[in-house]
Amino acid sequence: MNKISLIISREYLSRVRKKSFLITTLVVPLVIIVFYAAIIAISMQGSTEKQHIAVLDEANLFNGKIDSSNKTLAFTFIHHETEKTFINKYEAEGYDGFLYIPGDSTSLNSGKFSLHSTASASMTTMSDIEDIINKTMRNKQLLANGIDPAAFDKMAENASLENTVDTKEGSKKNFAGLAYGVSFACGMLIYMMMIIYGTQVMRGVTEEKTNRIAEVMISSVKPFQLMMGKIIGIGAVGLTQFIIWMMLMFLMQMAIPLVFPDLMQQLNDTAMQNNEGMSMAATAMQGLSSLPLMKIMLLFLFYFLGGYLTYASIFAAVGSVVSEDQQEAQQLIFPILMPIILGFVMMTKAINDPNSSMAVFGSIFPLTSPIVMMGRITYDVPVWQLLLSMSLLVFCFIFFTWVTGKIYRTGILMYGKKPSWKEMIKWAVRKG
Amino acid sequence: MNIIELHSLKKHFTSQKAVDDISFHIRQGSIFGLLGPNGAGKTTLLRMITGIFFPDSGHIQFNGRAFHPQDDIINIGYMPEERGLYKKMKIGEQVIYLARLKGMNKADAIEAAKKWFVKLEMESWWNKKVEDLSKGMSQKLQFVTTVMHNPKLIILDEPFSGLDPVNANMIKEEIFNLSKSGATIIFSTHRMEQVEEICNQIVLVNKGKKVLDGEVNQIKQDFKENIYKLGAVTLAEQLMTPLFEVVKHQPDNLLLKLQPNVTTNELLQYFIQQKVSIQSFNEVLPSLNDIFIKLVEEDHSATRKFQA
């Protein structure tokens, strides 16, 4: 087995076998999922228990019946009572609340009604009841003006704008919202992975140096092999984590309907109730299939690897020149983080305006391209720009590894004072 | 045959000449001592021999051919002065990892590791981590990782520091065994009594230059000062003679420096005439320690001045 693959497998296995890897890989997405589940659960709490509402309809607004498909609300009409007399009785009669609709036309037209309840009513209960009243009142008025409410529903507010992008290859529908999300998620992931795994490389190198194992290793392997072994090993850990997360997401999607059938049912119900929800889901599905997913995946992988490898070699060089003092490392990291952060800022702009000169520049300049290009991939990037950007990135990676390899080689065996930038540049340009 | 030959090696750093034109040969199978005060350039020299540094000029012959670090590295075992192991890695895995980096295959590495662990009474350590070991214990482990791949040339920088006498003896025995089975050992230290006990050939470097080179016995002969020890009760007036100078006079023995051209027989005859009853008589050779201090001090100052 060749030496570099031995080093890669050690770096990889020693990290993957650690408890902390298992924890971050499994627990982090779990925490996120639990968090979202909690939000959903809390927001739906109000409608989980059936609410019995008494209706005291003095104006006879509902004409004795409420047409509601809402399963969480049950209405009962009360007669021969007043607001004042019933307010003391509704709880004893088994109602959770009562809705009072006054008989005089002034208060009816002002649209103010009161809902009395034993406990404060939830937002959903309130808005459901509001919807019911509004709809009933609107229908009444429509009928008064001789309009059929059903016909009115059909023509109301159905406009939605659809953007078709016309290129030489033909016309394509554009799903801006979804493209935005996918772009942002990809850029964010690359940004995070570069920083997280880059600093891991740096810490690993510093650890080897301060443990003094570096000298033992360098008497067995070339410094360059040691550096590349570490960079590739840690990169593989990143990819593993990423793949596990992807699989978890996929599994979760399959498992949620099985574990929480009620949840899905409710979600579907709400979607059914208002056509908008349904059409949004449909649009998302349609949009997802219209995006060049395979191309996005491949580009994501390429830019993730290119960006990671470029920055990891710089991080490795920084790790090799600092000693125990973490403060020193912080000072040196800062100038490296600058272009990464700049790339992130440019990416958020590029998503909104993918063909601006800044977005084009950022996605070609190799220090920012891994992140900025993610902001553009869901749109059509001209092939020459893509090729230029990719080849610049590869060139940049080779150049940086060559330069930082030299700094690393000298730095890893130097103890004591931190070298100055001038000295490091001297190491880098020295031949041999 | 020489396992390694250094020909006018030079290595200059920006602020100092770490190694300045050093040449010497090491015989195959010998135990070789590389001596010198702190900062003399020993570590730089060793790093060139192990292929970590390239010399600025000069060349190295290894095993009769030009030294080619990438291929020859598997025939060298190097234990640097600053020990280093992966603290969080299990000991067994670590030993096998390091051996495989030296070109052993997995099965051989496991076998060799087991053999050494039994020999040095370390069997129970296999699944422990280095961070659980004491300093002396990790020293032993480091020694095992250095010699496990059966290198032809073993370089040990201060191998006994931090070891208790029992473990130091154990390692010393193993060094002799390795030497007997044909390995050459370079031993770098400034503990002279160990060098005297173990080495048969030494080189002394100071300020980047070679000061002394040769067989330990020969060097002692070269530096002897005609000093003898006489085991006998002598009186002060009996010592008034042109034959010798008194170095140290004690009740039951006498340390003396014989004048040139006076033979030991003439000296003994003199004492016999004086009716002194002689218990013992022997030559006192200088210790390497004395030679070391003498040579280094002759070189003006033991530590190199920093040229900022």
Listed range (A31-45, A152-166, B254-268) with the worst mean pLDDT: A152-166
Percent of chain B scoring above 70 in pLDDT: 97
CB atoms under 10 Å from CB of A317, counted, come to: 30
Look at A40 and A78; give whichever has higher pLDDT.
A78
Average pLDDT over residues A398-421: 80
Nearest residue of chain A to residue B145 (CA atoms):
A216
Average pLDDT over residues A209-222: 86
Q: Which residues of B touch A215 (CB under 8 A)?
A: 52, 78, 80, 82, 84
Q: Identify the band that residue B307 occupies on the pLDDT scale cut at 50, 70 and 90.
A: very low
**What does DSSP assign to residue B191?**
-
Whole-number pLDDT of residue A388 = 94
Which amino acid is located at B29 in the chain? G
Residue at token pair 């034109």: B21
Alpha carbons A406 and A427: distance in angstroms, whole number: 6
Alpha carbons B151 and A131: distance in angstroms, whole number: 86
Cβ of residue B51 closer than 8 Å to a chain A Cβ:
yes
Q: Give the gyration radius of chain A's Cα atoms.
A: 32
Whole-number pLDDT of residue A10 = 92
Inter-chain contacts counted by CB atoms under 8 A, chains A and B: 55
Tell me if ipTM is over 0.90: no
Cβ of residue B73 closer than 8 Å to a chain A Cβ:
yes
Q: What are the residue boundaries of the structural domains of chain A, listed by start? A: 3-33+175-429, 50-148
Cβ of residue B50 closer than 8 Å to a chain A Cβ:
yes
Assess whether pLDDT exceeds 60 at residue B74.
yes
Q: Mutate one of B101, B106, B157, B306 to test the A interface: name it (highest A CB count within 10 A).
A: B101
Percent of chain B scoring above 90 in pLDDT: 22
Q: Identify the band that residue A284 occupies on the pLDDT scale cut at 50, 70 and 90.
A: low
Whole-number pLDDT of residue A165 = 63
Cβ of residue A20 closer than 8 Å to a chain B Cβ:
no
Whole-number pLDDT of residue B154 = 94
Which residues have a Cβ under 8 Å from the Cβ of A172 and sit 6 or more positions away? A164, A165, A290
Cβ distance of B51 and A219 shorter than 8 Å: yes
Alpha carbons A306 and A370: distance in angstroms, whole number: 7
Assess whether pLDDT exceeds 90 at residue B185.
yes
Look at B296 and B181; give whichever has higher pLDDT.
B181
Whole-number pLDDT of residue A270 = 54
Q: Identify the band that residue A103 occupies on the pLDDT scale cut at 50, 70 and 90.
A: confident
Cβ of residue A4 closer than 8 Å to a chain B Cβ:
no
Distance from CA of A336 to the nearest CA of B (A): 28
Listed range (A51-65, A208-222, A346-360, B65-79) with the worst mean pLDDT: A51-65
Cβ of residue B89 closer than 8 Å to a chain A Cβ:
yes
Assess whether pLDDT exceeds 50 at residue B33.
yes
Alpha carbons B254 and B243: distance in angstroms, whole number: 14
Cβ distance of A216 and B51 shorter than 8 Å: no
Look at B228 and A259; give whichever has higher pLDDT.
B228
Nearest residue of chain A to residue B154 (CA atoms):
A219
Cβ distance of B76 and A215 shorter than 8 Å: no
Distance from CA of B45 to the nearest CA of A (A): 13
Which amino acid is located at B297 in the chain? E
Distance from CA of A401 to the nearest CA of B (A): 19
Q: Identify the band that residue B303 occupies on the pLDDT scale cut at 50, 70 and 90.
A: very low
Closest C-alpha to A425, from A411, A414, A417, A219:
A411
Alpha carbons B145 and A22: distance in angstroms, whole number: 31
Distance from CA of A14 to the nearest CA of B (A): 8
Q: Identify the band that residue A163 occupies on the pLDDT scale cut at 50, 70 and 90.
A: low
Closest partner residue to A221 (CB to CB) among B80, B101, B145 is B101
Nearest residue of chain B to residue A223 (CA atoms):
B52
> How do beta strands B76-79 and B153-157 pair?
parallel
Cβ of residue A138 closer than 8 Å to a chain B Cβ:
no
Cβ of residue B291 closer than 8 Å to a chain A Cβ:
no
Average pLDDT over residues B114-118: 92
Distance from CA of A213 to the nearest CA of B (A): 4
pLDDT digits (tens, 9 = 90+) for A83-95: 778 878 787 888 8
pLDDT digits (tens, 9 = 90+) for B213-228: 888 888 888 888 888 9
Q: Mutate one of A2, A216, A225, A422 to test the B interface: name it (highest B CB count within 10 A).
A: A216
Nearest residue of chain A to residue B146 (CA atoms):
A216
Query: What is the average pLDDT value for chain B, to the nearest integer?
Result: 86
Q: Which residues of B touch A7 (CB under 8 A)?
A: 101
Q: Identify the band that residue B99 occupies on the pLDDT scale cut at 50, 70 and 90.
A: very high
Whole-number pLDDT of residue B247 = 85
Which amino acid is located at B285 in the chain? L
Whole-number pLDDT of residue A62 = 77
Nearest residue of chain B to residue A423 (CA atoms):
B14
Per-residue b/e over A159-187, b at no fewer than 16 CB within 10 Å?
eeeeeeeeeeeeeeebbeebbeebbbebb
Which residues have a Cβ under 8 Å from the Cβ of A149 and sit 6 or more positions away? A138, A139, A142, A143
Whole-number pLDDT of residue B82 = 78
**What does DSSP assign to residue B125?**
G
Q: Identify the band that residue A277 occupies on the pLDDT scale cut at 50, 70 and 90.
A: very low
Q: What is the 3-state secondary structure (H, E, C) of chain A?
A: CCHHHHHHHHHHHHHHCCHHHHHHHHHHHHHHHHHHHHHHHHHHHHHCCCEEEEEEECCCCCCCCCCCCCCCEEEEECCCCCHHHHCCCCCCCCCCEEEEECCCHHHHHHCCCEEEECCCCCHHHHHHHHHHHHHHHHHHHHHHCCCCHHHHHHHCCCCCCCEEEEECCEEEEECHHHHHHHHHHHHHHHHHHHHHHHHHHHHHHHHHHHCCHHHHHHCCCCHHHHHHHHHHHHHHHHHHHHHHHHHHHHHHHHHHHHHCHHHHHHHHHHHHHCHHHHHHHHHHHHHHHHCCHHHHHHHHHHHHHHHHHHHHHHHHHHHHHCCCCHHHHHHHHHHHHHHHHHHHHHHHHHHHCCCCHHHHHHHHCCCCHHHHHHHHCCCCCCHHHHHHHHHHHHHHHHHHHHHHHHHHHHHCCCCCCCCCHHHHHHHHHCCC
Alpha carbons A126 and B239: distance in angstroms, whole number: 123
Cβ distance of A220 and B102 shorter than 8 Å: yes
Q: End-to-end CA distance of chain B, in Å?
A: 43
Average pLDDT over residues A377-401: 89
What superfamily would CATH give domain B2-215?
P-loop containing nucleotide triphosphate hydrolases (3.40.50.300)
Cβ of residue B11 closer than 8 Å to a chain A Cβ:
no
Q: Which of residues 240-259 of B touch A (CB under 8 A)?
A: none
Cβ distance of B80 and A215 shorter than 8 Å: yes
Closest partner residue to A220 (CB to CB) among B84, B89, B101 is B101
Q: Mutate one of B46, B48, B52, B85 to test the A interface: name it (highest A CB count within 10 A).
A: B52
Whole-number pLDDT of residue B305 = 47
Q: Which residues of B touch A208 (CB under 8 A)?
A: 84
Average pLDDT over residues A166-180: 60
Alpha carbons B86 and B94: distance in angstroms, whole number: 7
Assess whether pLDDT exceeds 70 at residue A43.
no
Phi-psi bin for B83: left (phi > 0), alpha (psi -120 to 50), beta? beta
- Contact at 8 Å (CB) between A220 and B98? yes
Alpha carbons B235 and A431: distance in angstroms, whole number: 73
CATH 3.40.190.10 fits A50-148, yes or no: yes
Listed range (A56-70, A167-181, B176-190) with the worst mean pLDDT: A167-181
Which residues have a Cβ under 8 Å from the Cβ of A305 and sit 6 or more positions away? A235
Distance from CA of A416 to the nearest CA of B (A): 14
Q: Which residues of B touch A211 (CB under 8 A)?
A: 84-87
Cβ of residue B92 closer than 8 Å to a chain A Cβ:
no
Look at A282 and B82; give whichever has higher pLDDT.
B82
Q: Which residues of A touch B83 (CB under 8 A)?
A: 212
Assess whether pLDDT exceeds 80 at residue A172.
no
Query: What is the average pLDDT value for chain A, to the nearest integer?
Result: 79
Cβ distance of B52 and A219 shorter than 8 Å: yes
Cβ distance of B97 and A219 shorter than 8 Å: no
Average pLDDT over residues B39-57: 86
Q: Identify the band that residue A417 occupies on the pLDDT scale cut at 50, 70 and 90.
A: low
Look at A139 and B186; give whichever has higher pLDDT.
B186
